[in-house]
């Protein structure tokens, strides 16, 4: 009886929030705010993590089945990248869409420049990267990703910002990595690094913006670019890491922006393996491997780097595992429910928020006790993004 009562109260409050979108957070500070993507309904929840609350719901954001977000420098606006090619600017304080455009046919993510003036979007269709003014979403540049020997554009992936008003991204069919300098936005300077490896499918950049690492779908290995070098080139690391290992079916590719890095190591999901690969960041060589419960998708480090939280691909996506970064051992396995899709740490790492799609909820865990402390209702939640991302490179 108590369980049904709690569910009824939660549903009532959730429906009530849906009617108070326009004025639910007016005038509020934004430092402890964020959003939860509701992938099935084209909506998002504006939340605050000081008291684990939902503030309001914003609708009309299109196909959010693979949505991501970045924030303005003042943390007041979120820019939402939708799978249908939509780019939306959302006012977090007013709880409303300021502007929405359809800039392509199928977009896979984006980034905001160091100054906050430019929003870059990577596209599957028509391929390449488009760059927009962050104030009014007017087009600044349309940069193709050419495929050698073809007149077609490549899908672009792994788009990140780096210092100096620059972006870096990979071309899936082109097997290249590109760097774009927007110092003169009317004439972007594009540097192309060719033959980096077969089918780079996602990437990340180190916290200081120096090292760009792309995962390769077409072969075992990764491509590493030192962006501080004068002549940019790709170096192969972890070459043939799957040689001699049993391959498991890949139902969902690892998301490499969720790779975990601390001062000493990088913890990387292995494609088709039930393992995390641990790299020594002094020499970029494999130090060890950690066996995990299934095929990992995200391996995310707590802000202090001490713990690594891992989620998994279908059909084992009900699990979370916590790894101690010193002992490199699994210290807790949590059955959260089917459809664990994303995790986000609060800025200082005392909590981690976890989206559980099939249970229509976001679970909040204490990272010291590793116990669940709160649950919030959400419609098919996926990505969770807090506003402190506004001041981090590559996020």
- Is-contact 267 301, C-beta < 8 A? yes
SS3 sequence, 191-216? EEECCCCCCEEEEEECCCCCEEEEEE
At residue 21, the pLDDT reads 40
Bridge partner list, 395: none
Which tokens is 174 given? 């082109």
* Same-fold call for 103-240 versus 248-335: no
Spatial separation of the C-alpha atoms in residues 395 and 387, rounded to whole Å: 10
> Worst-scoring range by mean pLDDT, 18-22, 175-179, 229-233?
18-22
- Is-contact 38 45, C-beta < 8 A? yes
- Is-contact 129 113, C-beta < 8 A? no
Spatial separation of the C-alpha atoms in residues 93 and 86, rounded to whole Å: 21
Which tokens is 37 given? 């993507």
Domain 103-240: state its class. mainly beta
Report angle CA 202, 255, 185 to the nearest 5 degrees: 45
Bridge partner list, 266: 261, 279
State the residue for tokens 């993590």: 49
Q: Give residue 253's pLDDT band: very low, low, confident or very high (50, 70, 90).
A: low
Spatial separation of the C-alpha atoms in residues 355 and 372, rounded to whole Å: 13
Q: Give residue 238's pLDDT band: very low, low, confident or very high (50, 70, 90).
A: confident
Span 66-81, pLDDT tens digits: 899 999 999 999 999 9
Q: What is the mean pLDDT of residues 102-109?
A: 88
Residues 6+ apart with CB under 8 A from 50: 32
CATH of domain 248-335: 2.40.10.480
Sorted by where each begins, the domain ranges of the chain are: 1-65+337-395, 103-240, 248-335
Which tokens is 370 given? 């590793």
Span 205-218, pLDDT tens digits: 988 999 999 988 88
CA distances from 363 to 5, 264, 315 (A): 19, 30, 20
At residue 209, the pLDDT reads 93
CA distances from 377 to 42, 61, 68, 311 (A): 16, 19, 20, 20
pTM, 2 dp: 0.90
HSE-CB at 221 with a 13 A cutoff on CA atoms is 14
At residue 52, the pLDDT reads 97
């Amino acid at each position: 009886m108590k369980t049904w009562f709690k569910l009824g109260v939660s549903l009532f409050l959730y429906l009530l929030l849906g009617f108070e979108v326009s004025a639910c957070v007016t005038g509020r500070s934004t430092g402890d705010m964020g959003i939860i993507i509701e992938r099935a309904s084209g909506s998002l929840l504006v939340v605050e993590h000081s008291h684990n609350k939902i503030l309001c719901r914003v609708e009309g954001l299109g196909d959010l089945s693979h949505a991501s977000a970045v924030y303005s420098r003042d943390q007041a606006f979120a820019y939402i990248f939708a799978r249908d090619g939509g780019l939306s600017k959302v006012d977090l304080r007013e709880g409303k869409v300021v502007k929405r455009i359809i800039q392509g046919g199928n977009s896979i993510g984006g980034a905001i420049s160091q100054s906050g003036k430019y929003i870059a979007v990577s596209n599957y269709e028509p391929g390449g990267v488009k760059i927009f003014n962050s104030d009014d979403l007017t087009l600044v540049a349309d940069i193709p990703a050419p495929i050698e020997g073809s007149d077609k554009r490549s899908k672009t992936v792994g788009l990140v910002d780096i210092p100096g008003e620059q972006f870096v991204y990979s071309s899936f069919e082109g097997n290249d990595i590109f760097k774009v300098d927007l110092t003169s936005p009317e004439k972007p300077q594009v540097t192309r690094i060719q033959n980096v490896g077969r089918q780079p499918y996602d990437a990340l950049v180190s916290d200081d913006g120096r090292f760009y690492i792309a995962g390769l779908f077409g072969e075992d290995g990764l491509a590493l670019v030192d962006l501080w070098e004068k002549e940019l080139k790709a170096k192969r690391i972890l070459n043939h890491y799957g040689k001699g290992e049993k391959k498991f079916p890949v139902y969902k590719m690892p998301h490499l922006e969720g790779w975990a890095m601390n001062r000493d190591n990088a913890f990387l999901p292995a494609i088709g393996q039930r393992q995390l690969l641990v790299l020594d960041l002094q020499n970029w060589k494999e130090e060890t491997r950690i066996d995990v419960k299934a095929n990992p998708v995200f391996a995310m480090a707590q802000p202090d780097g001490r713990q690594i939280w891992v989620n998994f691909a279908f059909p084992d996506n009900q699990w979370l595992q916590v790894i101690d970064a010193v002992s490199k051992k699994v210290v807790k396995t949590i059955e959260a429910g089917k459809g664990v899709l994303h995790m986000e740490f609060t800025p200082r790492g005392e909590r981690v928020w976890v989206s559980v799609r099939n249970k229509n909820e976001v679970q909040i865990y204490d990272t010291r006790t590793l116990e669940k402390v709160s649950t919030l209702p959400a419609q098919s939640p996926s990505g969770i993004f807090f506003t402190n991302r506004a001041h981090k490179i590559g996020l």
